[in-house]
Structure 1
Amino acid sequence: MSVAEGRLRRQDGLGALYLGIFATVWFSVPAAEQPLRGALLAGSVAALLTAVGGGILTARSRGAGAGPGDRAAGRRYLLIVVAEFALAGLGALALAAAGWSQFIPVLVCAVVGLHFFPLAPLLGDPLLRPLGVAICAVALAGLVTGLATGVPAGLVVGTGAGVLLLGYALRALARAVRG
């Protein structure tokens, strides 16, 4: 395996690991009745298995083909993630203080979607942009649904973000396995 192939396989393994974990988290956000609760549990299990597969492939790609990490890219990645968590955390506090805590999942979902835009060029993965657009669309759908109907916004964003992140994690895992 070449250094470039090892890096791509490791990056895809990490993508499956991280997005699988976060899909599991999103599937746990909504409180739902059966049969949706069963579907969310199945999604959580699938996402967790995808994350485990990504972790195994990542660990196996640490060998000779993986090559050294890029410290500057690692710092930029960390900065993006810290900014994402800070914005989501501060926004959640503001929504809670305003008495709108039911919309915290919407805000967090929108921030998650937006963070994929600076990550796309950093990770060399242009498909993160459409994922970001889709996640932001789920946040908007959750907001509109939460405001206009009796359906909780968290149900919409938890289910939608979970499905999108699981799909992307499965794509990354499949690519890593083929790689």
Structure 2
Amino acid sequence: MRTKRGIVAIAALAFLAAGCSDEKPAAAPAPSSTPAPASLSAPMAEVKEPCSLLSGEAVGKAISVEGVTSKPGPSQTDPVNKGQSKTCVFSGGGKEVGALAATRYEGNKVTPAEMIASIKTKKAGAVEVPGVGEGAVYYTEPGTTATLAAAKIVGGVPTLVSYVGPDKMTQEMMAPLVKQAVDAQ
């Protein structure tokens, strides 16, 4: 089923690109005897497990499906924009009904407004959604998926939280789900 595979693939990969994916990888630095600052040499902070940010019950209520369950989905890391993403896949009625992705851009100074603007330039018809995070956008891929993504600075780190579901999901159905997940960060 195209929608089923599309939901997980889009949630896992698409939002790594929102962190100013137009950036080029930096050239390798010249060797130095000076140690790197702790902020550069320290490992990236762990992304919160998305399944802890949104319950299957909340998803089920939004889409009128009983017994929605969740399980961790794929994780991705993009060394170019420093995006570290984890996903949670929701299932109900014998099929996948959505996925939540949380992506942190540790060390990237992108702002929420820049993340939303980046998505809007890449997704025709994307519309801003007020009241979710520090900026949010909703768009559909006709015949496959609908997405609502919200950006917020969490602990000084740019973070993007997105929910991807079937294209029949409206902005009004998705906004409370993403708002709950963003607020739980």
The structure whose RCO (Cα within 8 Å, separation 6+) is larger is 1
TM-score (norm 1): 0.29
Q: Which structure has more strand as a fraction of its residues?
A: 2
TM-score (norm 2): 0.29
Q: Which structure has more helix as a fraction of its residues?
A: 1
